[in-house]
Chain A
């Protein structure tokens, strides 16, 4: 994501989730989100069969 659009994304999601991000934290939040998205991309790039069940745990 381009620099400006990631900043816009952070501002929009913060608003949607009712989260306050003070100016002094903004760059740290952005740096952390870049790492998280890089990790998520690594997962996203891996082809999975449509039938794959998620592994989060729930027992009724």
Chain B
């Protein structure tokens, strides 16, 4: 954005609502920044400039008429390209879906953000069919890390991480089945919220693993994250898994004292397979929050394995017909994993879903004695684009399958998590703040406190 235009959603909304800045000026500055930097970042697959200009004019007209334009008046945002955008085929990172007819209606979350005055400026690059932790895409090219364009953004919401990390937009939406919000937030040095499973509506977004899919926002500050999240909450009959709970606003609670919170480090599996930078980031966050207690999370490795099994089999079921009819139009790496997933016996999948219930019970017991758990978001900072292997705890492992080893056991049971960026040099890395189900407010309050202390922060993009 131009130097005179704020980069924070809450500041933009304040400036636009008060008439100091018009929504049209904000959107022109945003579109100019996209034109300038997206050739490097490759975050956008679609820029909806005409639509954005029309919406901005609508917001400006409302303000001129003395109406309340909403808490996100004039705030530009973009969405992972698995969200339906009216008039665009929802590609979900694939080649195959480009043949779908254009979406006839926006996704629920886009409708809710625009109702609050926000302005959609485009759709964002992602790993094919969300089966990805890298942010690379064989059809559209990789999204690139805003702090070092030779590195991965993380996936599968890679374009979302790149667009917010690169300050092209203050807010973006992504999805998280096994870590696809938390991983790009970590690699791109921004805040990401994966809410409780079922909290935010997935209606009119392209699915991956129905029993594990979550959607949520990315932002450059905790206040912006909470603002976007609060706007999107609420029941939705169009998503069978969406909660009937009423909206539970978090923004008004951010500054509440966190002194009474019982905060602990996740132990066991969560303290293994870490590069020194991840150890350092977790230690900094724990110190800032005064957390010294370590709680072992039982069977987390098995939870990760069960999440893997459910993902590969439900994903295979979703794509079975496309695997039959158009196998050569998939990213080969995705296709071969999905075909293998189709071959896992159903009995083993059922056992994974039963284990999930067992593990959920154990975690709920843990949350009787603790309010917040701290764990690494990724084992390392962003690897180089195309990097195939890394060495974890002395063992060479494939990067692609192991970036999410610390996120998978958490989303497996749908716990809400805020990924917070620790500004290490030369690359940032994220830490997960994990709360009990339906207590996003706790994780957001802790994130806000850390931000105010300076322990976590979104930096200006260093690669632009």
- On A, residues with C-beta under 8 Å from B are 9-10, 13-14, 17-22, 25, 28-33, 35-37, 39-40, 42-44, 46, 48, 52-59
Which of A25, A37, A39, A46 is close to B332, meaning CB atoms less than 8 Å apart? Answer: A25
Which of B323, B348, B353 is close to A54, meaning CB atoms less than 8 Å apart? Answer: B353
Q: How many residues of chain B are within 8 Å of chain A by beta carbon?
A: 44
Query: Is B111 part of the binding interface, using a Cβ–Cβ cutoff of 8 Å?
Result: no
Chain B residues whose CB sits within 8 angstroms of the CB of A20 once the complex forms: 324, 327
Q: How far is the CB of B327 from chain A (nearest CB, A)?
A: 6
Separation of A10 and B340 alpha carbons in the complex (Å)? 8
A-B contacts, 20 of them at CB < 8 A, read A13-B343, A19-B327, A25-B335, A25-B339, A28-B332, A29-B340, A32-B340, A32-B341, A36-B308, A36-B309, A36-B341, A43-B305, A43-B351, A43-B355, A52-B354, A52-B357, A54-B350, A54-B354, A55-B357, A58-B240
- A-facing residues in B283-304 (Cβ within 8 Å): 299, 301-302
User: Secondary structure of the B side of the interface?
Assistant: helix
Q: How far is the CB of A43 from chain B (nearest CB, A)?
A: 5
User: Secondary structure of the A side of the interface?
Assistant: helix
Q: Say yes or no: B309 contacts A39, CB within 8 Å.
A: yes
Q: Say yes or no: A48 contacts B305, CB within 8 Å.
A: no
Q: How far is the CB of A26 from chain B (nearest CB, A)?
A: 9
Closest to A50 in B: B354
- On B, residues with C-beta under 8 Å from A are 197-198, 210-211, 240-241, 299, 301-302, 305-306, 308-309, 312, 320, 323-324, 327, 332-333, 335-337, 339-345, 348-358, 360, 401, 413
Chain B residues whose CB sits within 8 angstroms of the CB of A17 once the complex forms: 320, 324, 342-343
Which of A25, A43, A53 is close to B357, meaning CB atoms less than 8 Å apart? Answer: A53
Chain B residues whose CB sits within 8 angstroms of the CB of A39 once the complex forms: 305-306, 308-309
Q: Say yes or no: A19 contacts B353, CB within 8 Å.
A: no
Separation of A50 and B179 alpha carbons in the complex (Å)? 31
Q: Say yes or no: B324 contacts A40, CB within 8 Å.
A: no
Q: Say yes or no: A42 contacts B336, CB within 8 Å.
A: no
Known: A32-B337, A48-B355, A57-B198. A40 touches B302 (CB 8 A): no
Q: Say yes or no: B343 contacts A10, CB within 8 Å.
A: yes
